[in-house]
Amino acid sequence: MISALLLFTLAGLAEIGGGYLIWLWLREGKPLYFGVLGGISLALYGVVATFQTFPSFGRVYAAYGGVFIVLSVLWGWGVDKKAPDFYDWLGALVCIVGVSIMLWGPRN
């Protein structure tokens, strides 16, 4: 379970970080290398996610979506300095509960 959470976190940081670098390049006029590094980071996200041991691609990516939401809230708080409110935290909690059910719920 710890390795799954670590891989989800690494993949999420690669995706959010890559998207952020591309955002800075295209929206805020940063140099081209921001975009290039962002593209590399986004490709790395795709590779890291494949290291999950869960057998279903769809289930892994659906669960990753919930983790991505939580990481995005934390990114916004830490990088954009936008403090999450009660509903941000409540929504993030709902996502994590859903992810937990999807990944570790009993199966037949």
- The rounded distance, in Å, linking the Cα atoms of 101 and 3 is 17
pLDDT of residue 61: 85
Q: Tell how far CA 46 is from the center of its chain.
A: 11
Structural domain span for residue 7 = 2-104
Q: Report the domain count for the chain.
A: 1
Distant-in-sequence, close-in-space partners of 69: CB < 8 Å, separation ≥ 6: 91, 92, 95
Q: What is the mean pLDDT of each run of 10 residues along the chain (108 residues)?
A: 85 95 97 98 92 83 88 94 96 92 84
Hey, what long-range contacts does 102-107 have (CB within 8 A, 24 or more apart)?
Answer: 102/59, 102/62, 102/63, 102/66, 103/4, 103/54, 103/59, 103/63, 104/1
